[in-house]
Structure 1
């Protein structure tokens, strides 16, 4: 389980970094955007 989750966490960090660097968003705004993306994915999968 942990082995499967680690790549996802790394990917999320890369997404956050790309959102912050690419769009110059504050970190909190990037995290909020990421939460929306994750919740949308969970809704689509569930």
Structure 2
């Protein structure tokens, strides 16, 4: 099992490219966990 865990803070513009890049990987993760640290933008 492959898990990807990423912490973010005010990275709303980076979430979509991150998720899109994961779909292009040879072996995609079985789960993705994104932990928001209290963003003030459109991260969540």
Q: What is the TM-score when the length of structure 2 is the normalising length?
A: 0.33
Q: Which has the larger radius of gyration?
A: 1
Q: What is the TM-score when the length of structure 1 is the normalising length?
A: 0.32
More helix, by proportion: 1
